[in-house]
């Protein structure tokens, strides 16, 4: 893992220097990392990138080369730079388990640290969580559309840079893809890798048939042929069948064909008929060609005979929604051992933050383990599950729901305690399995690709009252200043 200490915005360092100059750099603060809107018109977001956050924190520290560079900017005094030489993270971070399903305005990470430390890590945390959560969520939509068919991540060549290709592949597998074409991601994260040949392989040979034979010679027991270089139905599949017959005579069974262009619904159905008529009922058909969840869903409705899907550009870039708008906001400041809630006001109600030191609980039906709603509450609050629990909509407060036979789970768990890593690290496959488990707790209505049901996220009465009292107080102070 590279040292990413300088992977931050300049204003983080200028604020840190300002706190240092004002002798307030050791003040303890609370920051929440959350997002305001689910991506891709989804009803939930799959959180990914926690492992990279850990790698980042574990390697935090300014090198001599870093200090020399900062000195060259002529913005920082020597006392501040000397302090940075000794920098280590000693704060506390709570967060959700990687792969958790989360919703707008819920804390994903809760950072309690000196303002110097909390400020420095903001940009990198957002960079890592925003991108990987976006791609994991996009992948889950594509996998949902495929309805059980394997989905492969093919996006490296279209990713916005090497890191996006590597960590995008990781996130795509977390979101449900079964493999990636990215060899480096496969090596780094122990992911299954897939791939056969390109159109250029076919073009290199004097004929398509010769190209197919050469590939079959190299991979007789793993032969999957790309059949759309010239004419899928009149050339590609007939030539593939010739080679498949030759393989069968040698004791090998072909794996499949791939179609990368044309009317995938029509061509795949014709290809399936031709393969079946020739006795290759078990040969699979892989489709690629600028796929996304809407195209796959449409092809499914048209009865396309496709067994697996290779998805590239639209997945690795999340083309229809290229960013998750995660934010990192101050929610409390410690003074004389007491946490003082803080909040941001805005003329846009959606941008008003929730104050205080908070946690999130998920409410489940006790009988079927289905998630019913989430509740954001203050850290000191406890839920007595032996008593009915009534929640209400944070804006339309007359909308209420009472739970009787229920159980709850706290979503935030310790990642760092006083600078010490306490989070049990997981492999990508373990995280992917956890995502499947999490998705199984959602009703199908929340997983619809179009117009999904909105999941309930409410505030406890205590937090709601704190927020609204602070709004009134801050607005009064603002009016008095005018």
The residues of the chain that CATH labels 3.20.140.10 are 10-135+322-481
Please give the pLDDT value at position 482.
52
User: So what CATH class is 10-135+322-481?
Assistant: alpha beta
- In the predicted structure, residue 480 carries a pLDDT above the cut 60: no
Residue with the two structure tokens 């983080």: 12
Percent of the chain past pLDDT 90, that is, above it, reads 95
- In the predicted structure, residue 350 carries a pLDDT above the cut 90: no
Distance CA 409, CA 108 (A): 15
Q: Are 286 and 253 in contact (CB under 8 A)?
A: no
Q: Are 363 and 408 in contact (CB under 8 A)?
A: yes
Share the mean pLDDT of the chain: 96
pLDDT band at 406 (very low <50, low <70, confident <90, very high): very high
Adjacent-strand bridge partners of 341: 332
- In the predicted structure, residue 2 carries a pLDDT above the cut 80: no
Distance CA 170, CA 433 (A): 14
Report how far apart, in Å, the C-alpha atoms of 109 and of each of 42, 47, 148, 305, 327 are: 21, 10, 32, 43, 11
pLDDT band at 98 (very low <50, low <70, confident <90, very high): very high
Nearest to 100 by CA among 371, 328, 316, 323: 371
- In the predicted structure, residue 119 carries a pLDDT above the cut 70: yes
Distance CA 474, CA 471 (A): 5
For 273-292, how does the pLDDT look when each residue is reduced to its tens digit (9 = 90+)?
A: 999 999 999 999 999 999 99
Residue with the two structure tokens 């603002």: 478
Please give the pLDDT value at position 479.
58
- In the predicted structure, residue 91 carries a pLDDT above the cut 60: yes
Q: Are 352 and 345 in contact (CB under 8 A)?
A: yes
Query: What integer is the mean pLDDT of 391-405?
Result: 93
pLDDT band at 357 (very low <50, low <70, confident <90, very high): very high
pLDDT band at 349 (very low <50, low <70, confident <90, very high): confident
Angle at 173 between CA 169 and CA 179, to 5 degrees: 80
- In the predicted structure, residue 200 carries a pLDDT above the cut 60: yes
- What are the DSSP calls for 450-466, one per residue? SSPPPPPEEE-HHHHHH
For 451-476, how does the pLDDT look when each residue is reduced to its tens digit (9 = 90+)?
A: 999 999 999 999 999 999 999 988 87
- In the predicted structure, residue 166 carries a pLDDT above the cut 90: yes
Query: What integer is the mean pLDDT of 172-201?
Result: 97
- In the predicted structure, residue 125 carries a pLDDT above the cut 60: yes
Residues contacting 433, CB < 8 A, separation 6+: none
Please give the pLDDT value at position 346.
85
CATH architecture of 136-316: Alpha-Beta Barrel (3.20)
Tokens standing for residue 29: 């603060």
- In the predicted structure, residue 101 carries a pLDDT above the cut 70: yes
Query: What integer is the mean pLDDT of 133-157?
Result: 98
Tokens standing for residue 24: 């307030």
Q: Which residue has the higher pLDDT, 479 or 148?
A: 148
Report how far apart, in Å, the C-alpha atoms of 338 and of each of 274, 332, 334, 409 are: 74, 10, 5, 27
Please give the pLDDT value at position 41.
94
Report how far apart, in Å, the C-alpha atoms of 143 and of each of 137, 256, 442 are: 10, 21, 16
For 22-31, how does the pLDDT look when each residue is reduced to its tens digit (9 = 90+)?
A: 999 999 999 9
Residue with the two structure tokens 């920051």: 31
* pTM exceeding the 0.85 threshold for the entire prediction: yes
Chain centre distance of CA 469: 35
DSSP state of 233: I
- In the predicted structure, residue 478 carries a pLDDT above the cut 80: no
- In the predicted structure, residue 266 carries a pLDDT above the cut 90: yes
Distance CA 340, CA 361 (A): 22
Adjacent-strand bridge partners of 226: 258
The residues of the chain that CATH labels 3.20.20.70 are 136-316
Distance CA 100, CA 333 (A): 28
DSSP state of 349: G
- In the predicted structure, residue 481 carries a pLDDT above the cut 80: no
């Amino acid at each position: 893992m590279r040292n990413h200490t300088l992977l931050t915005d300049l204003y983080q360092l200028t604020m840190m220097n300002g706190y240092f100059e004002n002798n307030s750099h050791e003040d303890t603060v609370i920051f929440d990392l959350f997002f305001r809107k689910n991506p891709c018109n989804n009803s939930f977001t799959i959180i990914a990138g926690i492992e990279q956050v850990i790698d980042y924190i574990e390697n935090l520290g300014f090198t001599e080369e870093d200090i020399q560079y900062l000195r060259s900017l002529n913005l920082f005094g020597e006392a501040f730079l000397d302090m940075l030489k000794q920098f280590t993270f000693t704060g506390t971070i709570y967060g959700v388990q990687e792969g958790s399903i989360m919703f707008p305005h819920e804390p994903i990470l809760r950072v309690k640290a000196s303002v110097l430390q909390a400020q420095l890590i903001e940009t990198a945390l957002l960079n890592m969580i925003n991108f990987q959560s976006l791609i994991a969520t996009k992948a889950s939509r594509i996998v949902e559309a495929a309805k059980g068919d394997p989905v492969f991540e093919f996006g490296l060549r279209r990713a916005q840079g090497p890191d996006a290709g590597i960590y995008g592949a990781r996130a795509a597998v977390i979101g449900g893809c079964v493999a990636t074409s990215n060899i480096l991601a496969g090596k780094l994260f122990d992911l299954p890798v897939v791939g056969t040949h390109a159109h250029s392989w076919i073009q290199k040979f004097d004929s398509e048939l010769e190209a197919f034979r050469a590939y079959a010679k190299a991979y007789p027991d793993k032969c999957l042929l790309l059949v759309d270089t010239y004419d899928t139905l009149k050339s590609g599949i007939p030539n593939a069948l010739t080679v498949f017959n030759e393989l069968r005579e040698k004791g090998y069974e072909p794996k499949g064909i791939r179609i990368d262009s044309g009317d995938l619904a029509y061509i795949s159905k014709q290809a399936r008929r031709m393969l079946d008529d020739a006795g290759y009922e078990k040969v699979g058909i892989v489709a690629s060609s600028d796929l996304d969840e809407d195209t796959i869903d449409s092809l499914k409705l048209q009865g396309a005979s496709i067994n697996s899907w290779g998805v590239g550009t639209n997945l690795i870039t999340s083309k229809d929604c290229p960013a998750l708008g995660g934010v990192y906001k101050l929610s409390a400041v410690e003074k004389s051992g007491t946490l003082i809630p803080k909040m941001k006001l805005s003329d846009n109600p959606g941008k008003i933050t929730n104050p205080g030191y908070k946690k999130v609980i998920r409410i489940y039906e006790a009988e079927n383990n289905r998630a019913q709603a989430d509740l954001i509450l203050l850290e000191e609050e406890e839920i007595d599950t032996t008593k009915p629990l009534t929640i209400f909509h944070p804006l339309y407060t007359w909308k209420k729901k009472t739970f009787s036979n229920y159980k709850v789970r706290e979503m935030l768990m310790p990642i760092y305690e006083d600078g010490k890593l306490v989070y049990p690290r997981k492999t990508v496959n373990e995280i992917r399995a956890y995502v499947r488990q999490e998705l199984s707790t959602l009703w199908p209505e929340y997983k619809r690709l179009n117009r999904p049901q909105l999941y309930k996220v409410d505030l406890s009465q205590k937090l709601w009252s704190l927020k609204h009292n602070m709004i009134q107080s801050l607005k009064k102070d603002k009016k008095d200043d005018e």
